[in-house]
């Protein structure tokens, strides 16, 4: 059995290609690597878990804590550009790297603004961008403090949001009355918006300042898991609202750029090499309320669940766009080729342990259906394990195909 073949551990690098260092090893990183392969991308990831979705296919894997200053510095040593596919990373390390002339996309200042949801709200207010009315809860964990602010906002129902650390609905708590259980962490209160639809627009900006938006999508939430269940492009709203949503997303990214410029002019006095450039993929989540107003809910400074459909239904996917931006290549077209619906594939409510995928064959028999499995080594109840996208000539048919495929697939534990 031995001696007939030579097993080679492959390593392939192209000198002219920028080496990207990505903080985070999840599915967003994985899909970025998958999409960037045709351009001979070299992408290393820092991830706390081994194995991890992105780590399994990255050129190099650094196993370490995303909040560890030195771990971020180690990743930076071997890479030309740094970015992140999750907000919960060591921002100070990224800032110090920028001060030594390194390129971080989007800049650490922008990440710092976004990662604290209250700073985000303040920034949107300064820019005159409409959001749900809100007030800070000055004393974390104190019911009196919360009730005072609740009253100042006109009473319940309200939504309490943790300033930091939230993700996929964690850190967000709907308070229907003064008796509701609240989060004992630094937070703010928001008026509960009477939501007609949840929308999102992905906006991409390259280092030269070129900026483009994708068509607005509609997001449907799963109340059991409090996370995004499915996404439809285009959103079923009229043309004027589409334009308005896309205009708001552009305004958000321009506002971030303006704030960065102001901050930059202060820092460069002390740190002459600090020259961050506003660029990146930004997801702007929106509420369409029952009166027809559009409000900005929140911003993500990275590819986003609401943009997964773009892999199959737009000329350039959000992930390819991300890679182009990181590498200094020009933006691609954000034009939609055909309607599509994406459905997140979550672990079953009782699944726990090694995953097993049931019904893949049946789902793939449906025309226009594409499957993306993230390679997570463990399934848990409602954990995002993959997604499917159905493309079709009409929105109606995309929904039909996606719903049909969804019924076929279950992710259980062995």
Which residues bind to ligand ADP, rule: CB under 6 A? 132, 159, 161, 166-169, 171-172, 190, 192-193, 195, 198, 221, 285, 297-298
- H or E, element range at 42: strand 42-47
CB of 219 to ligand ADP, least distance (A): 7
Tokens of 308: 């997964």
3-state secondary structure (DSSP) of residue 330: coil
Nearer to ligand ADP, 293 or 377 (CB): 293
Tokens of 38: 């045709």
Burial of 152 per CB tally in 10 Å (0-12, 13-18, 19+): exposed
Contacts of 34 (CB under 8 A, 6+ apart): 57, 319
CB of 164 to ligand ADP, least distance (A): 11
| CA 155, chain centre distance (Å) | 32
Nearer to ligand ADP, 193 or 309 (CB): 193
Evaluate whether 54 touches 36 at the Cβ level (below 8 Å): no
For the CA atoms of 335, 337, 341, 344, what is the dihedral angle to 10 degrees?
-70
Rounded Cα–Cα distance for residues 118 and 125 (Å): 11
Nearer to ligand ADP, 190 or 259 (CB): 190
CB of 223 to ligand ADP, least distance (A): 9
Evaluate whether 216 touches 235 at the Cβ level (below 8 Å): yes
Going by their DSSP bridges, the two strands 340-346 and 384-391 should be labelled as: antiparallel
Nearer to ligand ADP, 169 or 359 (CB): 169
Going by their DSSP bridges, the two strands 81-84 and 103-104 should be labelled as: parallel
CB of 105 to ligand ADP, least distance (A): 21
CB of 18 to ligand ADP, least distance (A): 30
**Dihedral sign from CA coordinates of 131, 135, 138, 140:** negative
Nearer to ligand ADP, 103 or 297 (CB): 297
CB of 161 to ligand ADP, least distance (A): 6
Q: Quick count: other Cβ atoms within 10 Å of Cβ 202?
A: 29
Nearer to ligand ADP, 129 or 159 (CB): 159
CB of 200 to ligand ADP, least distance (A): 10
CB of 288 to ligand ADP, least distance (A): 12
Nearer to ligand ADP, 171 or 359 (CB): 171
Nearer to ligand ADP, 62 or 134 (CB): 134
Evaluate whether 219 touches 200 at the Cβ level (below 8 Å): yes
């Amino acid at each position: 059995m031995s001696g007939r073949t030579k097993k080679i551990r492959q390593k392939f690098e192209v000198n002219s290609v920028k080496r990207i260092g990505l903080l985070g090893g999840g599915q967003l990183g994985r899909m970025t690597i998958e999409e960037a392969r045709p351009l001979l991308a070299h992408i290393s990831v820092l991830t706390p878990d081994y194995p991890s979705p992105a780590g399994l296919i990255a050129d190099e894997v650094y196993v370490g804590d995303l909040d560890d200053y030195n771990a971020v510095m180690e990743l930076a040593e071997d890479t030309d550009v740094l970015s992140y596919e999750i907000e919960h990373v060591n921002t100070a390390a990224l800032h110090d790297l920028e001060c030594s002339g390194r390129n971080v996309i989007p800049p650490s200042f922008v990440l710092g603004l976004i990662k604290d949801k209250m700073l985000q709200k303040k920034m949107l207010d300064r820019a005159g961008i409409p959001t749900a009315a809100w007030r800070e809860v000055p004393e974390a964990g104190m019911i009196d403090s919360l009730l005072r602010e609740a009253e100042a906002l006109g009473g319940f129902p309200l939504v309490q949001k943790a300033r930091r650390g939230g993700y996929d609905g964690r850190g967000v708590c709907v308070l229907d009355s003064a008796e509701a259980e609240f989060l004992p962490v630094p937070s703010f209160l928001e008026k509960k918006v009477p939501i007609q639809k949840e929308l999102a627009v992905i906006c991409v900006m390259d280092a030269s300042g070129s900026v483009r938006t994708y068509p607005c999508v509609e997001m449907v939430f799963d109340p059991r898991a409090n996370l995004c269940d499915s996404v439809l492009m285009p959103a079923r709203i009229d043309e004027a609202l589409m334009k308005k949503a896309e205009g708001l997303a552009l305004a958000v990214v321009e506002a971030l750029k303006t704030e960065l410029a102001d901050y930059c002019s202060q820092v460069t006095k002390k740190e002459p090499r600090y020259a961050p450039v506003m660029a990146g993929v930004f997801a702007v989540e929106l509420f369409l309320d029952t009166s027809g107003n559009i409000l900005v809910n929140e911003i993500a400074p990275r590819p986003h669940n609401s943009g997964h459909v773009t892999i199959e239904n737009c000329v350039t996917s959000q992930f390819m766009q991300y890679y182009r931006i990181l590498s200094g290549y020009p933006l691609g077209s954000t034009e939609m080729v055909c309607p599509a619906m994406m459905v997140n594939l979550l672990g079953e409510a009782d699944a726990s342990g090694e995953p097993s995928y049931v019904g893949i064959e049946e789902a793939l028999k449906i025309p226009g259906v594409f499957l993306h499995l993230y390679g997570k080594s463990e399934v848990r109840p409602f954990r995002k394990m993959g997604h499917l996208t159905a493309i079709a000539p009409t929105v109606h048919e995309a929904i039909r195909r996606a719903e049909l495929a969804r019924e076929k697939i279950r992710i259980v534990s062995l």
